[in-house]
A and B are shown apart, each in its own frame.
Chain A
Amino acid sequence: MNLALLAALLLSHPAQAAEVQAQLRVVSDVPEMVGKQVQSPVWAPSTAPRLVHEMTDRDKTTLLRIVRVEGGETKATSVPGARSGRLESLGAGAERADTGAAWWDEGSLFFVRAVGGKSSLHYFDGVPREVTGLPGRVLEVATDSGRGHLFVTMEDEGGLDLHRMSGQGFIEERRRLTRSQHEVENSLSVDRRSGEITYVRTSQEGTRLGHAELEDVSAQEGPTAPGLSNYELLSVASVQGESAKVMYARVPAGMPDGGSSHVLLQLVDGKVSVLAPGAFLPPGLAPSPALGPEGTWVYYVLADAAGGNPIRRVNRRTGVSEALDLGTRFNQEISVSGYADASGKMVPWIAVVAVGDAEGDDVRNHLYMGPLGAWPGW
């Protein structure tokens, strides 16, 4: 066994701390969501709590739904299939898959719309608006609105590559950051303070990180560390304003549970460590690790089917780990952000995709959300 990997595992038994309690509400137990399952919640960079999530029906049609917290109440709107209401009522975009939402600002977001073999980039600020003039199929999008930058992975005749776009209509300045015939770039993570992007590169040889700084004309080799190449990297999140990266990875074959179980890793200062062994990931593309608003706590779902896949958080600086008692069971995925209350105090808000409604008599994936602390009216 690789010594660095062994050392990383030995460091992966964090101290246990007290349980954190919170009162979450189910926000998907509404008529418009009957027969639909929730996935991929993403919090907005807004003043009041707001998120977007995907909802998929049995036909695999996927729509986006935005949930806003206003006072102590929640309000929801869905991203329509067409700009024209009449066109939508005639069935336009009825069988679409809207995925990969990335907030641009507090009131608008980009997403990928797949309809009938076409996969295009759209913007939603009240109506869906297509970003036209792109030469290929768009697969993923990430934003840096402060600099007016969009990052997309796009598949064209040259293969699937990462592009940085800006300027008028986002087609005025488009730079192809990667030119990789045999690699796939995914899990785009932007550090909005520096404008850098980090992502996962996957090829037949394995996985590693890719990286491009603000002024780079092409992407570079991403940060790495001894032992990192043993893991199959699945997703990455950049700690804002720091060099640290947090990743989900598959445990290497040849180790206990190797090849099937997942871990939460941290890469900082050329060292990799296991923040949490036995992390649960939902089927499909791995979500990005859920960093708290200060960038210190990392929230994750523990793979413990007998215990209902409890939610925990680990302090990535100290290794202290805490359990969260949120009242949800069979948790699937989580997202965390911070919002200031009336006094200006930053309160973390968590969104949890979990199986079952409040009564526990429904086996669909539902969405629960709430503050990890006091919030007026909640």
Chain B
Amino acid sequence: MRPEASRFVPLLVLMLLVGCPKSGGTGGSGGGDCFRDLGGDLATARKRLEKGKPQEARLYVEALSGCDAAWESQDYLDVAGRVSEELGDLNGSWRAAKAALQLAVHDGDGEAATKWEAQLRIFSERYVWLEVFEDERERPPIRYAGAVVDDATLRQLEDVAQGRILRSSSGGAGFWIFPGRYKVGSIVHTLEAGQTFRLSYRKEGVTP
């Protein structure tokens, strides 16, 4: 199992208990000790997504995360990214899209690489990039300041608090969060889609 998959273990245990999704046969495209049907599970996950049930789709994605073949499949990364995005795990969605882009480049698939670059650009236009200096040990505290908070927002801010840093397309360090009202230090900001906000004591403020 790859390191990325380790955090899915509790869910895998849960899936075994509830029996969903069912394990596939050995004839699937899973590699190594994976006995799942990659194509079948992805098709099911897609259908669940189309029906607006990302929680159910996640079960299939996470079950496949133990298969080496999944991590070599752009289709898997595509579905994994969509599921993550729809559940509000923006950083997970970004990671999946970046991995898919790297895979396409590695495979010399120019058409796919162009598609993934476009996906990442659209992603950047939809959400807020919270940029940080990696070498800065302390950053201004950020908390949600809108009237209605949801679990996804809290999880995104937990990523920030825990310093689970990502790389942007330009190589900068930071986090993806939903647009919205946030209190940084003592000031409430309205962070808009497509905006980059620098979370730092060195230079606090909005950059274009």
A: residues with CB less than 8 A from B are 77, 83-87, 90, 92, 104-105, 107-108, 110, 123, 125-127, 129-131, 145, 169-170
Contact = CB atoms under 8 A, between A and B. Distances in A.
B86 interface: yes
Contacts of B193: 77, 126
Interface string B84-125: 011010000000000000000000000000000000001100
A71 to B, nearest CB: 16
Interface residues of B, number: 27
A130 B179 CA distance: 15
Nearest to B86: A84
Contacts of A86: 82, 85-86
A123 B149 CA distance: 10
A126 B180 contact: yes
B187 interface: no
A85 B147 contact: no
A86 B85 CA distance: 8
Contacts of A84: 85-86, 88
A123 B147 contact: yes
B181 interface: yes
Contacts of A83: 88, 152, 178
A123 B88 contact: no
Contacts of A169: 148-149
Given A85-B123, A108-B147, A131-B148, A125 B85 contact: no
23 contacts: A83-B88, A83-B152, A84-B85, A85-B122, A85-B126, A86-B85, A87-B52, A87-B85, A105-B147, A107-B181, A108-B180, A108-B181, A123-B146, A123-B147, A125-B146, A126-B128, A127-B178, A127-B179, A145-B147, A169-B148, A169-B149, A170-B147, A170-B148
B75 interface: no
Contacts of B169: none
Contacts of A107: 181, 190
A297 B117 CA distance: 55
A87 B93 CA distance: 13
Given A92-B52, A108-B146, A108-B147, A126 B85 contact: no
Contacts of A127: 178-180
Closest 6 CB pairs of A and B: A126-B179, A107-B190, A123-B148, A85-B126, A125-B146, A126-B180
Nearest to A88: B126
